[in-house]
């Protein structure tokens, strides 16, 4: 079988709407899913919950709290490894992802492990579940940094969470935005402004349309977003690079990870007073 051919692209920084982001990132993840799962699947574990390339586990951090008996939703669930681990902890978890191919990998792992994660193809900005459906919503490097309308996504999390519910997510550490996506020492020289929120976009040279989009918010932006939506921030974890991890994952490596954080993990509780 031949490899799926992606478009020829150039990278740029420019405004990109929610619709454009979704139209770009869904097909991009469809094209990339097989390689992503072949490269990172063994590190993720078929039933495994890591919060990012450092390999720090939910088992060690317990950001989500006790999961037994909880209704749990994973946004940007990919092949559902994290949500499957939640089921092992006694939670009833569901997946949501934009990419059809990622969800086919989730079905493959459902069969291989015997632990099925019912999943839906949807976007984090229009979560197709009823109000007050979940005790916990989480996202491990999933949808949030691919979404332009982040206020819409966070408002939808508020809607599907029960009062007192837990929201936790990991993202590329915002300070990484200053550096090139290069895992070597060369990637440690800041070359762009931390405060420049202009999205990173890859443009198809043939059509001029976006074929990939990533959105940046500062640490302060995230704190403001959570607080405005009615959350009480309880955790902001910046994992250190572990002594036993010599893996390179994109721009993440020991060379950079020993000097500067690569991942930020937020944990927050929905206040009973939140506007819904
Ligand atoms: C880096 S992968 C992470 C997947 C999984 N959490 C893991 O740890 O392997 C990002 C995932 O977010 C999904 N995604 C991107 N934009 C999304 C959106 N707007 N709504 C839902 N999922 C989205 C992608 O399809 C992809 O599966």
> Which alpha helices (DSSP H) does 68-199 contain, by range?
81-88, 100-113, 150-160
Residue 48 CB–ligand 1 contact under 6 Å:
no
Both tokens of residue 191? 């070359």
Average pLDDT, the chain: 96
Within 13 Å of residue 152, how many CA atoms lie on the same side as its CB? 13
Mean pLDDT value of segment 231-235: 98
**Torsion of the alpha carbons at 123, 116, 64 and 252, rounded to the nearest 10:** -70
What's the confidence (pLDDT) of residue 2? 43
How many A from CA of 143 to the centre of ligand 1? 5
What's the confidence (pLDDT) of residue 4? 58
How many A from CA of 270 to the centre of ligand 1? 23
Q: Measured between alpha carbons, how far is residue 7 from residues 22, 189, 204, 216, 253 in Å?
A: 16, 30, 6, 24, 28
Rounded-to-integer distance, Cα 131 and Cα 140, Å: 22
What distance, in Å, lies between the first and last C-alpha atoms of the chain? Answer: 49
Mean pLDDT value of segment 138-160: 98
Tell me: the pLDDT tens digits for 10-19? 999 999 999 9
Residue 23's SS3 state is: helix
Residue 119 forms beta bridges with which residues?
95
Residue 83 CB–ligand 1 contact under 6 Å:
no
Task: Count how many residues are written for the chain.
Answer: 276
The answer to whether residue 33 scores a pLDDT higher than 50 is yes
3-state secondary structure 91-129: CEEEEEECCHHHHHHHHHHHHHHCCCCCEEECCCCCCCC
What's the confidence (pLDDT) of residue 275? 80
């Amino acid at each position: 079988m031949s490899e799926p051919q992606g478009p020829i692209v150039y990278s740029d920084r420019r405004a990109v709407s929610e619709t454009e982001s979704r139209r770009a990132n869904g097909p991009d993840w469809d094209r990339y899913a097989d390689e992503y799962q072949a490269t990172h699947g063994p590190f993720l574990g078929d039933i495994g919950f890591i919060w990012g390339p450092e390999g720090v586990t939910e088992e060690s951090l317990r950001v989500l709290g006790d999961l037994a008996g909880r209704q749990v939703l994973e946004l940007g669930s990919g092949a559902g490894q994290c949500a499957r681990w939640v089921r092992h902890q006694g939670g009833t978890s569901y997946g949501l992802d934009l990419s059809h191919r990622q969800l086919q990998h989730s079905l493959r792992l459902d069969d291989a492990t015997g632990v099925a994660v019912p999943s839906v193809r949807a976007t984090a900005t229009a979560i197709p579940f009823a109000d007050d459906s979940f005790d916990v919503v989480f996202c491990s490097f999933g949808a949030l940094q691919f979404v332009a309308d982040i206020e819409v996504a966070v408002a939808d999390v508020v809607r599907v969470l029960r009062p007192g519910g837990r929201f936790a997510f990991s993202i590329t550490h915002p300070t990484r935005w200053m550096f090139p996506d290069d895992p070597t020492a060369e990637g440690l020289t800041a070359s762009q402004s931390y405060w420049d929120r202009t999205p990173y976009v890859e443009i198809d040279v043939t059509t001029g349309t976006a074929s990939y989009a990533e959105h940046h918010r500062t640490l302060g932006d995230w704190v403001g977003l959570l607080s405005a939506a009615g959350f009480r921030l309880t955790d902001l974890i910046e994992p250190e690079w572990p002594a036993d991890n010599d893996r390179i994952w994109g721009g993440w490596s020991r060379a950079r990870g020993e000097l500067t954080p690569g991942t930020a993990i937020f944990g927050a509780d929905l206040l009973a007073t939140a506007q819904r």
